[in-house]
């Protein structure tokens, strides 16, 4: 690796729908800590950066990032485009992997796959974080990969408040399945044994957290390296 491929995890304490969710416990450890634990099992990125707001209320996240042994960057709370750009500049990234901290079960192997795919092809934005062109991935186990030069272009030119807050919208709109003009988007097909696009593994509400807490309590003690197939098998037992 070149030293210039990095996963940036965006997190904050001030979530509007579920304040403080980043530190809510999953099997005894903070949610963001569990995310970082799983992301550290990836092989195709050179570093992991926890990108958080520069507010005193987010100091506990900085402490958690340092405890977990990852880099910590602090920047704008609401301008995520700027936070990503400044973090990428700080660490000299050429390829940026975006991972949101409301997805507590990243799948390391699938993230490595999308990074490899992006690095070996000439696309501006690749994603298996969710449904892209009917790739059939469950929502929340993959990641987004994009080029720093395109990120820099949007950082210099974008003024739309929604696109400043939601970085992916500068490249791709998941709802409409459309990309911005001139942006080349691609994905990879989900393996058949966990091709379940209807499964959503985000934590945005108290109900989502209750579900994810139960999932971790059921799977983590038996196997800390549990796989998406283990999650699907557990879901089958609950039907």
* Number of domain units in the chain: 1
Grouped pLDDT means (10 residues each) for the chain, 239 residues: 84 88 97 98 97 97 98 97 98 97 97 98 97 97 97 95 96 96 97 97 96 98 98 91
pLDDT digits (tens, 9 = 90+) for 5-42: 999 999 999 887 898 999 999 999 999 999 999 999 99
User: Which CATH number does the domain housing residue 168 bear?
Assistant: 3.90.550.10
CA 204 – CA 127 distance, rounded (Å)? 21
pLDDT digits (tens, 9 = 90+) for 214-237: 999 999 999 999 999 999 999 999
Q: What is the pTM of this model?
A: 0.96
Q: Domain residues for 178?
A: 5-237
Identify the H or E element spanning 117: helix 108-119
CA 199 – CA 78 distance, rounded (Å)? 28
CA 175 – CA 86 distance, rounded (Å)? 27
Query: What is the β-pairing status of strands 25-26 and 29-30?
Result: antiparallel
């Amino acid at each position: 690796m070149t030293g210039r491929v990095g996963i940036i995890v965006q997190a904050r304490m001030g979530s509007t729908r579920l304040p403080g969710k980043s530190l809510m416990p999953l099997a005894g450890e903070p949610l963001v800590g569990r995310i970082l634990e799983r992301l550290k099992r990836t092989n195709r990125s050179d570093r992991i950066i926890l990108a958080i707001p520069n507010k005193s209320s987010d100091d506990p996240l900085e402490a958690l990032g340092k405890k977990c042994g990852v880099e910590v960057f602090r920047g704008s709370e609401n301008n995520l485009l700027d936070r990503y750009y400044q973090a990428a500049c700080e660490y000299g990234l050429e390829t940026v992997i975006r991972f949101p901290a409301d997805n507590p079960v990243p799948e390391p192997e699938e993230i490595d796959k999308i990074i490899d795919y992006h690095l070996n092809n000439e696309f501006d934005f690749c994603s298996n974080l969710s449904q892209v062109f009917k790739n059939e991935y469950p929502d929340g186990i993959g990641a987004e990969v994009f080029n720093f030069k395109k990120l820099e272009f949007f950082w210099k030119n974008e003024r739309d408040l929604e696109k400043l807050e939601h970085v992916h919208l500068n490249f791709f709109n998941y709802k409409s399945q459309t990309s911005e003009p001139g942006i080349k988007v691609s994905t990879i097909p989900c393996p058949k044994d966990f091709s379940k696009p209807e499964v959503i593994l985000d934590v945005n509400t108290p109900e989502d957290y209750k579900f994810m807490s139960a999932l971790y309590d059921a799977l983590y003690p038996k196997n800390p390296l549990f796989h998406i197939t283990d999650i699907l098998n557990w879901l089958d037992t609950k039907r």
